[in-house]
């Protein structure tokens, strides 16, 4: 398969007692399928994967595959150990995943030879397509452009780059011009730089912005080379993108709750859930950007928010 278009990264719902809420998760996946996304990604950084035990991961993957009904499901399998990443990836494959998303392992003094070996070993042991996630904010690992280009060229199962190193638009441009084997490049970072990344040649988004319909509209316009439309959509929704993009996943989860896709916006401790003042601001920015739109229903961007 080809990893282009919009692959929303889904949050992991928890009940107020912090147990996994599979009913809400099933609802989220089905909603994504109903709006026509190209696939979904689960157990990412803001999917709180690092706060889950393996049995919970398995249950979440099984739930996603069942709810997806054939929609491709990419599973985050990053781990500090190569062997553990391989085992998590094999489990994902056995359960029906379409691909795996992997970051470089975090270490005090990153070593590019070890990073290369980490991905090369995973590629030789796991048959699934690899989405190479470059996300220095969470890993504290800054991979050189040359390393990323070399891994794409040498490791056949690297099928996509999830580009989140900043400055992101410039990095996208460098990847587009430097890749000997052109694999899709998907933007992340909550679509904060989304219009600029598409302008530089990104092939879509793999990120968790809670209104993926907006990203679909931007990608559709970019595919038609209508940069005016891309930027008009981006500018219209930018206040919401910026507000949701605050550190952590609390605001995003509360939007999912407001959309009727989660019963609770609980974030697992030690992280914090949304505060009262932040929720008030969130409600205000949604009203300012979306007016009285019913956000429990899929947004019809072209009809409800016509371009100027």
Place of tokens 């470059």: 134
pLDDT tens-digit series, residues 80-105: 899 999 999 999 999 999 999 999 98
- For residues 210 and 244, is the Cβ–Cβ distance under 8 A? yes
Phi, psi values for residue 284, rounded to 5°: -65, -45
Domain that holds residue 46: 5-304
The pLDDT of residue 139: 84
pLDDT tens-digit series, residues 10-49: 999 999 999 999 999 999 999 999 999 999 999 998 899 9
Beta bridge partners of 100: 75, 130
Domains in the chain: how many in total? 1
Pure H helices in the chain: 22-34, 54-68, 82-95, 112-125, 136-139, 145-154, 168-178, 194-199, 212-223, 227-244, 250-258, 276-290, 301-304
DSSP-derived 3-state class of residue 225 = coil
- For residues 280 and 252, is the Cβ–Cβ distance under 8 A? no
CATH of the domain at 258: 3.20.20.70
- Residue 298: CA atoms inside 13 Å, Cβ hemisphere, count? 17
CA angle 77, 214, 64 (to 5 degrees): 35
Overall average pLDDT of the 162-172 stretch: 97
- For residues 86 and 121, is the Cβ–Cβ distance under 8 A? yes
Average pLDDT taken over every residue of the chain: 96
Quote the CA–CA distance of 167 and 164 in Å, as a whole number.
Answer: 8
Dihedral sign, CA of 201, 32, 29, 166?
positive
Residue 140 has pLDDT above 90, yes or no: no
Dihedral sign, CA of 160, 214, 38, 40?
positive
* Sheet order of strands, 5-6 included: 5-6, 204-205, 185-187, 158-163, 130-134, 99-102, 73-76, 40-42
pLDDT tens-digit series, residues 247-304: 999 999 999 999 999 999 999 999 999 999 999 999 999 999 999 999 999 999 999 9
The pLDDT of residue 52: 95
The structure's pTM equals 0.96
Beta bridge partners of 40: 73
Residue 108 has pLDDT above 80, yes or no: no
Dihedral sign, CA of 266, 58, 100, 201?
negative
Q: Which of these, 299, 271, 250, lies nearest to 31 by C-alpha position?
A: 299
Is 112 exposed, middle or buried, given 0-12, 13-18 or 19+ CB atoms closer than 10 A?
A: middle
């Amino acid at each position: 398969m080809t990893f282009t278009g919009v692959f929303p990264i889904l949050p992991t719902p928890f009940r107020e007692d912090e147990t996994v809420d599979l009913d809400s998760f099933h609802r989220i996946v089905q909603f994504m399928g109903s709006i026509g996304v190209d696939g979904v990604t689960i157990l990412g950084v803001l999917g709180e994967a690092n706060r889950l035990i393996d049995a919970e991961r398995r249950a979440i993957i099984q739930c996603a595959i069942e709810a997806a009904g054939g929609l491709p499901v990419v599973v985050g399998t990053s781990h500090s150990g190569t062997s553990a990443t391989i085992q998590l990836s094999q489990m994902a494959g056995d359960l029906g995943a379409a691909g795996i998303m992997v970051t470089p392992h975090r270490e005090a003094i990153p070593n590019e030879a070890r990073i290369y070996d980490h991905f090369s070993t995973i590629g030789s042991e796991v048959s699934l397509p690899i989405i190479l996630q470059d996300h220095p904010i969470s890993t504290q690992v800054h991979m050189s452009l040359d390393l990323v280009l070399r891994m794409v060229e040498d490791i056949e199962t690297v099928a996509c780059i999830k580009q989140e190193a900043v400055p992101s638009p410039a990095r996208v441009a460098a990847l587009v011009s430097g890749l000997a084997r052109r694999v899709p490049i998907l933007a992340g970072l909550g679509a904060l730089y989304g219009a600029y990344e598409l302008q530089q040649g990104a092939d879509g988004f793999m990120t968790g912005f809670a209104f993926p319909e907006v990203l679909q509209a931007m990608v559709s316009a970019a595919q038609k080379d209508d940069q005016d439309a891309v930027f008009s959509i981006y500018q219209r929704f930018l206040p919401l993108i910026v507000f949701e993009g605050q550190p952590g996943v609390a605001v995003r989860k509360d939007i999912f709750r407001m959309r009727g896709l989660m019963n609770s916006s609980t974030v697992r401790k030690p992280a914090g859930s949304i505060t009262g003042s932040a929720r008030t601001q969130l409600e205000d920015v949604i009203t300012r950007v979306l007016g009285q739109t019913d956000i429990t229903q899929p947004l019809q961007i072209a009809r409800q928010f016509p371009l100027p």
